[in-house]
Structure 1
Amino acid sequence: MPHGKTIDTHAHILSDETMRLIAKEAPAISPKITPIDDAFSVLEVAGVPYRPFPHGGWNLEKRLADMDFAGVDMQVLSNTPQTFLYNIDGSQNAAIAALQNDQIAATVKQHPDRFMGIATLPMQAPEKAAAELTRAMRTLGLKGAQIGSNVNGRNLDDPALEPLWAAANEYAAFIMIHPTQVAGADRLKSYYLGNLIGNPLDSTIAAASLVFGGVVTRFPRIRFLFVHGGGFVPYQFGRWIHGWAVRPEPQVHLKESPEAALKTLWFDTILHAPEPLEYLVASAGVSRVVLGSDYPYDMGTLECVRQVRALSISDADKDRILCGGPLALAGAAATVAA
């Protein structure tokens, strides 16, 4: 049976040109790259360093070579979480988000057989975020947006975000939720726990806020993707359903069991071991699990396609995770004529 294209839904980019344009727009934020060796550098954004930042994050030739090695035919490009910039002035971030989105769209146009793209948004300014999502989808042809799991500590059910959800629903947007500014950071300083535990924890809080806040139910055309295997959501969904049934607090904004809303959420494959990935596919179903690599970060993997191919499921189900699901997730956000 012939296989369709393999499509990685979770891949980040910060090109040289994007860094140059951000530096011109906002010199105080100016991203800087300082080489460590031939493979890695230190990325500094607004004076905050991140290391190691692999060269494929900005070098397109290296990215394409890594995709070929991984067996990835296409990537859905999103900005680097370091450039969410929710803590700066909203108007300034709207300008920076727009230039990042223009550059992602330009890369897609340059290599339409290898890339699709999603936008970044100035989430601290919801009206501007809604406007930028509309521009990104209608004018640039992007498929939706990547947003953080919270906005400066405010959960995603915050009423101020309603304009964004309305726009995303109108255009059936693909919205990828990526952890940022994670909860419990004061207790996660050792052992890289801020990533190992904090990232899936904050994704879980984001999912719970969207489900119990009624956002998922009120805006049913949005496709919400939760990265890193969905945090703890696929493994605790029964607890959420039970809690709603026996407690009044989860029912404040959600007047029906969360079960239906939970069955609309999407998850990527980044779990790093076969047993949890097998469980995720079995519990969520192949129709809601999609290929992800978290390229180019060291907590991602170039083994993502091979990990799916090794699953104890049918070839048709593997192709759904590798191709059919990503196309449904991104393709559902059809480009709207301007």
Structure 2
Amino acid sequence: MQNNDNDKIDTARRTVLKGALQFGALTAGGLAVAGCGGSNGARTESNTPSTTTGQDNAVGGGNHNNDDIPDPTTPDAPTLPTGNFRIDVHCHHIPDFYRASLAKHGIVTAGGIPIPAWSPSMAVDFMDKYGIQTQIVSISEPGVAYLSTPQERLDMAMEVNNYTTNELIYSNHYPGRFGGFAVLPIGDPNNPLDIINACSEATRAIKILGMDGIGLLSNYNGIYLGDPRFTPLMLTLNTLGCMVFVHPVTPVKPDSIILPTFLFEFTFDTTRAAVNMLYNGIYRIYPRIRWLLAHAGGTIPYLSYRTSLLTVTPALADSLGLEVLDEVKILASYGDLFYDTALSPAPAAMKSVREVTSLDHILFATDWPFAGPAFAVTTSGDPQPRLSETFTDQERLSVERENALKQFPSLSRRLEDA
């Protein structure tokens, strides 16, 4: 009887998961998927300062040109360019050797869904279909955290970063089609070797390989960004002055929730990391790091006011050993972050983002190939048509191209030379 019950439970789980995935594919319509961003170094870049101010970014109430948000019923004078013009700052690559290593360790899913097929030619075909000139690729969960030792994690991170550099970013086969965020060899922040190796590989990736930025996961073994154990790495990233892309991972969750974690848990984990960094002073102490949050910042735009409530109860913050922040610091911090449009092009997300930051801090992203099914019903060639419900065509051009070129000057130069 117990086995029969377990079989029924497993069948129910599979049915719910299948239904959720089918629903997502059928209703995603205008979803945009992707998103990575970076800065670079040796092959070199200069740091681009933020253009927002704390006063411009009032938590939960600052209006960032919302008077200019278009009425979707009103025709727009300008039109979007034709051809490949978009820069996708959040998308993923899965090299064959990395996929094989994951499979060897029993890992065949990420975010609760099967790891999709990927190749450079598949990526180019996707870009050409949706008017994308360049994808800035990154490694999704689990990064290299699944490997057992610091040396194994370092070896795999270096192999991935070498591949991204030589076979994609600077390959003669794909001029101008790829950029890349470096993966760092972190699995156990309690192990000083992991942090030392991460500092070394971050420096190599930016200064020697000329990659476009650094990719970090929201937490490693339950230790979130903002934890003091990451301090040496924060110092290194601040010195490099690079763009750091924060991608969520699956947090510990109740077994009774059987939906795929990408559906909602990912957004919550990004939020945990961003709030933890806020109250541990990361944005203020390391001002040269430019932070790009996946999926429109998780739930940060919507919860920007709620997560600032300790500013009105400084005694509580002090009792928790947290930095006592005033409202201006919080507003400036959230406003200075960068937000991508991956899986979040609808007005509910984008108008919230515009409440906490300025237009030049919003970057186009697709989350391909993991979000591939979301594009199955998008036949117009516009990967995120619902962006037009929040942005004018000129603003869309900024979001989908110009903002990225300003933040990734090395990529901009590569495109000029391509």
Q: Which TM-score applies when normalising by structure 2? A: 0.68
In angstroms, what is the RMSD of aligned CA positions?
A: 2.6
Correspondence for 2:155 = 95
Asked if the contact 2:243–2:292 (Cα under 8 Å) also holds between the matched residues in 1, the reply is yes
Specify whether residues 273 and 300 from structure 1 end up closer, same or farther in structure 2 by C-alpha distance, changes over 3 A only. farther
Q: Which stretches in structure 2 are left out of the alignment for 5+ residues?
A: 1-77, 189-193, 414-418
Structure-1 separation of matches of 2:122 and 2:219 = 32
Structure-2 separation of matches of 1:112 and 1:204 = 35
Of 135-144 and 282-291, more deviation after overlay is shown by 282-291
Correspondences of 1:33-112 after superposition (within 5 Å): 44=103, 46-50=105-109, 51-55=113-117, 57=118, 59-85=119-145, 88-106=148-166, 107-110=168-171, 111-112=174-175
Q: 2:348 aligns with which of 276, 279, 282?
A: 276
- Matched AA of 1:190: I
Specify whether residues 187 and 332 from structure 1 end up closer, same or farther in structure 2 by C-alpha distance, changes over 3 A only. farther
Specify whether residues 52 and 255 from structure 1 end up closer, same or farther in structure 2 by C-alpha distance, changes over 3 A only. closer
Correspondence for 1:320 = 398
Residue 195 (structure 1) shift = 2.3
Residue 112 (structure 1) shift = 3.3
More strand by share: 1
Correspondence for 2:87 = 7
Structure-2 separation of matches of 1:188 and 1:157 = 30
The residue matched to 1:161 in structure 2 has which SS?
A: helix
Is residue 197 of structure 1 aligned with residue 264 of structure 2?
yes
Correspondences of 1:181-196 after superposition (within 5 Å): 181-183=250-252, 185-187=253-255, 189-192=257-260, 194-196=261-263
Residue 143 (structure 1) shift = 1.6
Q: Which stretches in structure 1 are left out of the alignment for 5+ residues?
A: 24-29, 32-43
Correspondences of 1:134-213 after superposition (within 5 Å): 134-183=203-252, 185-187=253-255, 189-192=257-260, 194-213=261-280
Is residue 118 of structure 1 aligned with residue 181 of structure 2?
yes
Residue 309 (structure 1) shift = 5.3
Asked if the contact 2:405–2:411 (Cα under 8 Å) also holds between the matched residues in 1, the reply is no
Residue 308 (structure 1) shift = 5.9
Residue 62 (structure 1) shift = 1.4
Correspondence for 1:34 = none
Residue 249 (structure 1) shift = 4.0
- Matched AA of 1:212: Y
- Matched AA of 1:164: L
Number of equivalences: 310
Q: 1:291 aligns with which of 346, 355, 364?
A: 364
Asked if the contact 2:347–2:386 (Cα under 8 Å) also holds between the matched residues in 1, the reply is no
Structure-2 separation of matches of 1:300 and 1:260 = 36
Structure-2 separation of matches of 1:250 and 1:5 = 46
Correspondences of 1:295-306 after superposition (within 5 Å): 295-298=368-371, 301-302=374-375, 305-306=383-384
Correspondence for 2:307 = 240
Residue 310 (structure 1) shift = 2.3
Correspondence for 1:127 = 196
The residue matched to 2:211 in structure 1 has which SS?
A: coil
Q: Which has the larger radius of gyration?
A: 2
Asked if the contact 1:175–1:222 (Cα under 8 Å) also holds between the matched residues in 2, the reply is yes
Residue 188 (structure 1) shift = 6.0
- Superposed CA offset, 1:298-323 (max 9, x none): 37744674336523423321111111
Asked if the contact 1:117–1:142 (Cα under 8 Å) also holds between the matched residues in 2, the reply is yes
Structure-2 separation of matches of 1:130 and 1:162 = 10
Asked if the contact 1:174–1:332 (Cα under 8 Å) also holds between the matched residues in 2, the reply is no
Specify whether residues 45 and 225 from structure 1 end up closer, same or farther in structure 2 by C-alpha distance, changes over 3 A only. farther
Residue 330 (structure 1) shift = 3.0
Which structure ranks higher in relative contact order (CA pairs < 8 Å, sequence separation ≥ 6)?
2
Asked if the contact 2:203–2:236 (Cα under 8 Å) also holds between the matched residues in 1, the reply is yes
Structure-1 separation of matches of 2:362 and 2:256 = 28
Q: 1:253 aligns with which of 302, 311, 323?
A: 323
The residue matched to 1:99 in structure 2 has which SS?
A: helix
Correspondence for 2:70 = none
Structure-1 separation of matches of 2:295 and 2:249 = 13
Asked if the contact 2:144–2:156 (Cα under 8 Å) also holds between the matched residues in 1, the reply is no
The residue matched to 2:231 in structure 1 has which SS?
A: helix
Residue 329 (structure 1) shift = 3.1
Residue 245 (structure 1) shift = 2.1
- Matched AA of 1:116: G
Specify whether residues 188 and 209 from structure 1 end up closer, same or farther in structure 2 by C-alpha distance, changes over 3 A only. farther
